[in-house]
Amino acid sequence: MTSQNLFLFLHIHKDKILMKRPPYENFPVISNERLSLREIHSDDMNDLIEISFYDAVQATTMEQAIEMQTRINEDYLSGNSIHWGIADRFTNRIVGTCGYYRGFDKGEGELGCVLLSKYKGQGYMTSAMSLVIDFGLNEIGLSRIWAITTKQNQQAINLMEKLNFLQIAELEDEHVEYELKM
């Protein structure tokens, strides 16, 4: 390969070369003084039925929640996503989930998150999403981070705005798209 061809190859594929996409040798654990973002284990599933989703469909049974988590794990192993359980550092109990669900093939990441209702309003998600954003920018090497929610989900909108996201589009079915201001 000539140097000119190598330059052209690197220019065309720069996002894929610079990105450190999943899967990783060891599933990344990210933590701060309050919480730990870690891999979801089978013994976490009882706590997750209430907040188990895949492609905007919510699980209603343990069987469905396990099936959805299996699909999420397959997406991770395929290099398309990374999904953490948000664990309280003192109890190690899962209080929610968050991660990147698509976009890695373009050097981007769509954020998603969900929190068990009894933990809402306690700062868990702000803390978790800050860690995930930092990981996406500094470890994966994402060039763009975005999130989609409904116009009625004021808690998610407040969270996005607190995390320096700006609304960039109104979408179908009362959804809005937010993008991290970089």
Q: Which residues pair with 35 in a beta bridge?
A: 88
Specify the pLDDT at position 18: 64
Helix or strand holding residue 50 (H, E) = none
Cβ contacts of residue 100 below 8 Å, gap of 6+?
81, 82, 83, 109, 110, 111, 112, 132, 136, 140, 142, 145
Specify whether the CB–CB gap between 150 and 172 falls below 8 A: no
Give the DSSP letter of residue 138: I
34-73: per-residue pLDDT in tens? 999 999 999 999 888 889 988 888 899 999 999 999 999 9
125-181: per-residue pLDDT in tens? 999 999 999 999 999 999 999 999 999 999 999 999 999 999 999 999 999 999 999
Q: Which residues pair with 103 in a beta bridge?
A: none
Q: Which fold has domain 41-180?
A: Aminopeptidase (3.40.630)
**Which sequence spans correspond to the domains of the chain?**
41-180
Q: How confident is the model at residue 182 (pLDDT cuts 50, 70, 90)?
A: confident
Specify the pLDDT at position 10: 37
What mean pLDDT comes out for the span 4-31? 67
Specify the pLDDT at position 100: 98
The C-alpha atoms of residue 104 and residue 18 are separated, in whole angstroms, by 12
